[in-house]
Structure 1
Amino acid sequence: MPEPPTLIRRGRLVRIGAAVAVLLALVAYVVVQYVFGGKAAPRCQVVSGNGDGASYEFGAEQAQNAATVAAVGTSRGMPERAITIALATALQESGLRNISHGDRDSLGLFQQRPTQGWGNEKQIMDPAYSAARFYAHLKDVPGYSRLPLTVAAQRVQRSGYPQAYAKHEPDAALLAAALTGRAPATLTCEGRTADEPGDPAKVRAALVRDFGRGVAPESARGSTLTVPVNATAGSAEGGTGQRGWELAHWAVAQAATLGIERVSYGGREWSATDSGQEWRKPGKSIEDEPRTGAGTGTGEVRIVVGQ
C-alpha cells in the first residue's frame, strides 16, 4: 500500500533539513579553516577576585576592545564604577565588537551616530575615540556613580530599551575589576597569537593610544618592552600594584592582535605558548594565593613580543 502524500512530504522535509544542517556545518568549518588557519578563535576568561566562582568567557576581539575601553577610562581618572557602566553599555550595544552597522547610522562599540554629533564615521570606528566620547558624556551626568547602571547608561545613550543594560552588569563588573587592576591575575587568554610576527613598535603605539604618552615603554631590547609603573598616571582608585596589573591585563587582552607572547608583573607570568590560561608564579601555584587586593607592586611590566 503506498504511503500517504503527507508522510512522503514530511520525509522529504526531514532529508532536506538534514542536508541543510550538514551544509551549514561544512561552511562554518571552511570559514574557521580560512580565517584562523585551522585553529579556533582564541578565547579569554575573567574570573572573580572574591573567590565566589563567578567568571565570564569571551572572545579575543571582545577582550581587546574591553581593555581599550577600560584604559581610556582610567587614563581620564574615571572610577571603576564608570568603567563598569561603559563596559555594560558596549556589551549591550555591540557585544563589545567594533561593528560598522546598526540602527540608522549607528556605528562602533557604543553604536554612536554621526548625525547626532558623536563624530564622523572614522572617528566613531576608533574604539579609543568612541570610549573617550562616552566617558565625556557620562562625566556630565550628575551623580552617575550612585545611579543604577541602567539609569546612568541611559542618560548617555538615550536608548529605546534602557533596561537591557542591566543583564550585562555582572559580567561588566568582573571585567572592570580585572581591567582596572583591582583584581590581579584574573584575566587570561588562550595562547594563539597573531599569524604575523609581533612588532614592538605597534605595542608601544597601542599603549600610547589607550593610556596616553605617560605609559610609553622606557626601553625596548629586541622583542622585550619594559613599561614603568606609575600609580599617579593610572587608575584614580589604586596604588602602584593596581596600576601594574591594569597594564599587565591590558597586554594579555591585546595579545592575539599584537602578537604578544609573554607578560610579566609582580613575580607572575602569563605565556601564550603555555596555554595562556593562568598566571604562573615560579615554585607556587596561582591557586595558593588569594586574588583580592592589588597584589605585589613592582616597578615595571615586561611585555615580550613574538618574533
Structure 2
Amino acid sequence: MESAGDDPFWPAASGPDMYTTDWSPRRHRKGRRRARGRAGRTVSILLVVGAAVAGGGYVAVHSTVPPPIVPATVDAALEPRPSIPPAATRGRPRPAPSVSPSATIRKATPKSTRPPEPVAGLTQAQMNNAAVIVQVAREMGLPRRAMLVAMMTGLQESSLRNLANTTVPASLDRPNEGDGANFDSLGIFQQRPSQGWGTVAQLMTPRYAANAFYEKLIDIADWESKSLGDAAQAVQRSALPDAYADHQDRAEKVVDALL
C-alpha cells in the first residue's frame, strides 16, 4: 500500500490517514461548529456497498466532487407477487386439479340383485316372471306399449306362472310353478311346441318364451296402432279375444313398478 505522501489523491498535510485510528474520544458539544476544511482539500468518501449489490467488501472513491446518488436495485425475489392474475389471463380455462395418489377413489355401487318387490297382488314367483318380460323388452329396444301387451297376455294365459303340462311329460321335469292340461300349451304365454313356437325346454324358459312372444308381436305390421287387447289377440289367436283387455290396469301397475 502506498503512503499518504506518495499518493497524489492523499496530500500528506491534508489531515489524518483514514486507515489510522485518530478520532478524538471527546464528544462534541451541541451546536459546536465543525471546522471547515481548507480550500482545495480533497473530500474522501468511503462507500460501503452491500454484498448483494456490489459483490461484498469496501470500495473507496476519491473525488473532489460529491458522487451522484446511485439507487440500489431491489432483489426481484423480495418483490411481492400479485395475488390477482394479470388481466390478459383472466377468464382462461384453468387445468383441473391433480388428484393425490393417496386420495380415496369411490367405486360405483353395483345395482341391487335382490328380486323385485311384488305389486298388484302378485307372488314373488309371478313378479320374477314379470321382471323377465320387462327386461327382455328392454334388451330388444321395445317400448312400454309392447311390455303392456306381453304383460296382459301373461296375466290372462297363466297368471304370470311358468306352467308345465300333464299331457307333455317332458315339461314336468323342467322347473315350473304349476301345471295345466290345455292341448300342449306351455309356459307363461301357453305357447305350443306343435305350432312351431319352440321346443319343450325352450318354452319352459321364461326368457325364451318372452322373446318368442315379442318376435311375433313386432312382426305384425300395425300392432302399435291396435288396442292393447287386440294386439295381444293378434299374437295369441285365442278363443277368448276380449279377455286380454280385462288385465290392462293390473298390467300397467306391474310394468310401471319394474321401469
Q: Calculate the TM-score normalised by the size of structure 2.
A: 0.48
More strand by share: 1
Q: Calculate the TM-score normalised by the size of structure 1.
A: 0.41
More helix by share: 1
Q: Which gives a bigger RCO, structure 1 or 2 (Cα 8 Å, sep 6+)?
A: 1
